[in-house]
Amino acid sequence: QVQLEESGPGLVKPSETLSLTCSVSGGSISSWSYYWGWIRQPPGKGLEWIASINHSGSTFYSASLKSRVTLSVDTSKNQVSLKLRSVTAADTAVYYCARFFIAMAGIAPDPWGQGTLVTVSS
Amino acid sequence: SYELTQPPSVSVSPGQTARITCSGDALPKKSAYWYQQKSGQAPVLVIYDDSKRPSGIPERFSGSTSGTMATLTISGAQVEDEADYYCYSTDSSGNHRVFGGGTKLTVL
């Protein structure tokens, strides 16, 4: 059964770059059946899809975050990485990594990692 | 930008049927997905492709769509079903993925 684990700094300063890594176990990130991506949730608020990527680099980005986000895959390490530039306090959230399966409405996340809280503060 | 609209809260007594709605202009053409998020936990998929139930999800969870509205139904809601529920889908172009604002289900 595939498992996903997020890792990275829990505190980032305003204007800097948030960098997170998702390590995948129990399944290959090189499978053509899936995409991999990130979703975030500000404290006490709802879910926001950020971006998704497959092993060949085909990527979908949220329109509202596209200018600040970069997603990449490392198939040798079975990892997906997220970089979010020029962060502000509004980027404070729990960041979830998820596998996206190919569905009737495109791609949908399942399962999810346990999430990691990233706080933007000086 | 595309939006999915959910009621902020729904409340039922144990054993009653809970219905949570999600409205969006593209839902007649794009499937809806439903996620359950219990306090302090990651979301879990409970319905996919409008009405299919993943393995391990109780039969009391079902999904349906009609026009621009998708509905998650929990028949005979139990106390352990108390959680936030989110719908998910894409706009008509298929390029933009969105979650609804979430509905807090209270069972008491």
Amino acid identity at A60 = F
Cβ–Cβ below 8 Å for B42 and A60: no
Which residue in chain B has the smallest CA separation from A48?
A: B99
Name every chain B residue with its beta carbon within 8 A of the beta carbon of A104.
30-31, 49-50
Please, what's the b/e burial string for A30-61 (b: 16 or more CB within 10 A of its CB; e: otherwise)? eeeebbbbbbbbeeeeebbbbbbbbbeeebbb
Write the DSSP string, A11-69: EE-TTS-EEEEEEEESS-TT-TTEEEEEEEE-TTS--EEEEEE-TT--EEE-TTTTTTE
A 10 A CB-CB count for A77 gives: 12
Closest residue in A to B103 (Cα) is: A46
Q: Which residues of B touch A114 (CB under 8 A)?
A: 41-42
Residue numbers in A near B90 (CB within 8 A): 105-106
Which residues of chain A carry a pLDDT beneath 50? none
> pLDDT tens, B4-14?
999 999 999 99
Q: Which of A52, A105, A111 sits opposite B31 (nearest CB)?
A: A105
B83 has a pLDDT exceeding 90: yes
* pLDDT score recorded for residue A104: 80
**Distance (Å) from the alpha carbon of B15 to chain A's nearest alpha carbon:** 27
User: Please, are residues A83 and A12 in contact by the beta-carbon 8 Å criterion?
Assistant: no
Cα–Cα distances (Å) from A48 to A39, A61, B20, B84, in that order, read 6, 12, 19, 14
CB contact, 8 Å: A106 with chain B? yes
The pLDDT of residue B1 is above 90: no
What pLDDT does residue A106 have?
83
**Nearest residue on chain A to B46, judged by CA atoms?**
A110
User: Are the beta carbons of B99 and A109 separated by less than 8 Å?
Assistant: no
How does the average pLDDT of chain B come out, rounded?
A: 96
Looking at CA atoms only, how far is residue B85 from chain A in angstroms?
Answer: 10
Summarize pLDDT for B39-71 with one digit per residue, the tens: 999 999 999 999 999 999 999 999 999 999 999
Residue A93 near chain B (CB below 8 Å): no
Would an 8 Å CB–CB cutoff place A60 in contact with chain B? yes
